[in-house]
Amino acid sequence: MKKFLIPAVLVATALSCQAPKPQDPPPMKPQKIVVYQVFTRLFGNTNTTNKPWGTKEENGVGKFNDFTDTALEEIKKLGVSHIWYTGVPHHGVIGDFPEIGVSSDDPDVIKGRAGSPYAVRDYYQVNPDLAVDVTKRMEEFEALIARTHKHGMKVIIDIVPNHVSRFYEGKNNPAGVRDFGADDDKTVEYAKDNNFYYIPGEAFQVPEPKNGYQPLGGEMHPLADGKFEENPAKWTGNGSRLAQPDFYDWYETVKINYGVSPDGKKDFEELPAGADSLDWKAHYDFWQGKEVPDSWKKFKDITQFWLGKGVDGFRFDMAEMVPVEFWSYLNSHIKMTNPEAFLMAEVYQPALYRDYLFKGKMDYLYDKVELYDTLKNIMYGHGSTDHLPAIFESQRDIEHNMLHFLENHDEQRIASPEFAGNPWKAMPAMVVSATVSTSPTMIYFGQEVGEPGAEDAGFGDPSRTSIFDYIGVPQHQKWMNGGKFDGGQLSDNEKALRNYYSEVLNFTRNSSALMGEYMELHSFNRAQNPAYTDKAFAFARWDDSQKLIVVTNFDKFQSVKTTLKLSPELLKVWNLEKGEREIKELMFGKKKTILRVTESGAEIDLDFGPWESAVFEVR
């Protein structure tokens, strides 16, 4: 494992800041939301073989039962309020499960050996790989839901409305539920109540492989023959209308039809003018008595099924590929069942954010193409913090709804050589993303211990932990320590990193100011002070009971030794008394500085090392 170099001050500070102990008094009521995304199949796997394209017998596989009370309590102590269990619904997977009458999927239309969680095969059952006893796989997941709730956290699972597995087989449908496509008219390309789009007269053909790709890495398999029976062919999940999609298309999936014809005509009633200002109850009322496409009803029933199991919310995959009217329908039905349901979604076009929030009734959207991409560029070392103020200003009206993250299953691991190469390089970005707004913060399991995603698992390339194959996650396994979940195999450096994350996340959960007002101080200081560079970033957060100044230094080499000036606008709002006072850091409690308020303005002294951050409280 590569040794990461970090400033000694960060190690000492982080090691001194342990997560809250069970005997500590309970914190104030949580305010900020912290989501812990975990790839369920990988979390509890202790096998370290990591053979490319390895079977679950060779490489191991995690189970629902690996989320023990101890594991969940340690996740909770990290500062987590919600766990997103990624990959729960039964998706395509190579391997037979004779105990439950489930046969192997075809390697020609499966990515990896363990399969993509976004090619769902049966929405009314869970992935059998995740169960100790596959005949009781749903009961084991229900027990995990109950354990998670017992530890005071909420449960989120994936719903993937845009597409399903090329081989969908609903073997567990509740009474009256028909499979996707069971009642389709396959003689036509499109019909309002068809669940799929078809290519009449043409049979599906497996894509031509590229770059030497072979299913299962070339291993012999009776179904790996370059063929898959599907006649007529269906449109592919990413919208390809070819009977033989490209190798880089989402060929393992088929696109769901939501009543939008191939030429874009909508066969459903559109939302009325002003719908963006109506609450979810009004949206629910709007859809009563209206005819909607069959696919809408199917996904409404699916989400109601999981709500009935105790799931607290959903992460919606590629939401912008589905019409916003469907989201109005679906999410208002979800909220009627559970008004507190947590609904987050991928939407990557900023021009669509407000439609999917206000018309589609989403709670939270990924802040990927604006904040994440900008912070990633800064972490690379060739970006500028001058780009940050415009992002936060443009999102003023939706800042609470933009979920912040630095890792997830789609993105490169921070510690990978292809990205930052050192997990400590992300600490200023972590502080900014976690404290700059009232929105939720999300971290990806292993992020907090510097997981680099270096394994060649089979399908896909290193730098992202594989979601397609059976694999171990080495840094995370060191924290797991054979099921003790005590970090016993971590180095001091790695323990310090996890403690840093814990300190940041727990602070955000308990700071009232972070649910209050925001004012950036960066632009004022860039204009006033040449020593304050575009590798620093500073802002104020406050409410009636707490005033905070957040300062970060993104520079890898240079310290920040200058003054930070408080803007006249902030001074007017805060109405600070003139004079000098000592202010100290809240998050780690180590750094102190002087705030001077005079007739001409106010400033604080800054002395920050590389990658250092602080949150000062002004009393």
Mean pLDDT of the chain: 95
Q: Are 457 and 466 in contact (CB under 8 A)?
A: yes
Chain-centre distance for alpha carbon 479: 21
Q: What is the pLDDT of residues 318-350, one digit of tens each?
A: 999 999 999 999 999 999 999 999 999 999 999
CA dihedral 462, 161, 55, 65 (to 10 degrees): 100
SS3 content of the chain, % helix, strand, coil (to 5): 35, 20, 50
Q: Of 513, 392, 415, nearest to 473 (Cα)? A: 415
Residue with tokens 């500070």: 13
Residue type, 537: F
Most distant pair of Cα atoms in the chain: their distance: 83
For 288, counting Cβ atoms within 10 Å of its Cβ (0-12 exposed, 13-18 middle, 19+ buried), the class is exposed
Residue with tokens 């005079």: 598
φ/ψ of 231, rounded to 5, equals: -145, 115
Round to whole Å and give the CA distance between 232 and 194: 14
Q: Are 458 and 468 in contact (CB under 8 A)?
A: yes
User: Of the given ranges (29-33, 198-202, 440-444, 520-524), which has the lowest mean pLDDT?
Assistant: 29-33
Round to whole Å and give the CA distance between 74 and 39: 17
Work out the number of other CB atoms within 10 angstroms of the CB of residue 31.
16
Task: Write a three-state SS string for 414-426.
Answer: CCCCCCCCCHHHH
Triad 217, 219, 223: Cα angle to 5°: 110
Per-residue pLDDT for 22 more than 50?
no
Round to whole Å and give the CA distance between 295 and 259: 8
pTM: 0.95
Question: And the tokens for 93?
Answer: 């997977």
Q: Of 535, 540, 538, nearest to 514 (Cα)? A: 540
Round to whole Å and give the CA distance between 28 and 372: 29
Mean pLDDT of 483-503: 98
95: alpha, beta or left? (left if phi > 0; alpha if psi -120 to 50): left
Mean pLDDT of 165-187: 97
Q: What is the pLDDT of residues 238-258, one digit of tens each?
A: 999 999 999 999 999 999 999
Round to whole Å and give the CA distance between 184 and 471: 39
Q: pLDDT band at residue 180, thresholds of 50, 70 and 90? A: very high
Question: And the tokens for 130?
Answer: 């995740």
**pLDDT for 10:** 53
Round to whole Å and give the CA distance between 427 and 613: 8
Residues 6+ apart with CB under 8 A from 139: none
Residue with tokens 């099924």: 305
User: Kind and range of the H or E element at 617?
Assistant: strand 613-617
Mean pLDDT of 252-276: 98
- What does DSSP assign to residue 518? E
User: Kind and range of the H or E element at 285?
Assistant: helix 280-287
Query: Residue 237 to residues 117, 161, 162, 165, 169: CA-CA distances in angstroms?
Result: 14, 10, 7, 9, 17
User: Kind and range of the H or E element at 375?
Assistant: helix 373-380
Round to whole Å and give the CA distance between 540 and 12: 26
Question: And the tokens for 18?
Answer: 């342990």
User: Kind and range of the H or E element at 539?
Assistant: strand 536-542
Q: pLDDT band at residue 589, thresholds of 50, 70 and 90? A: confident
Triad 508, 512, 513: Cα angle to 5°: 90
Concatenate the DSSP letters of all residues of 120-168 into one string: EEEEEEE-GGG-SSGGGHHHHHHHHHHHHHHTT-EEEEEE-TTEEESS-
Q: Are 521 and 604 in contact (CB under 8 A)?
A: no
**pLDDT for 50:** 98
3-class DSSP assignment, residue 328: helix
**pLDDT for 6:** 52
Per-residue pLDDT for 27 more than 80?
no
Question: And the tokens for 590?
Answer: 């180590």
**pLDDT for 12:** 46
Q: pLDDT band at residue 26, thresholds of 50, 70 and 90? A: low
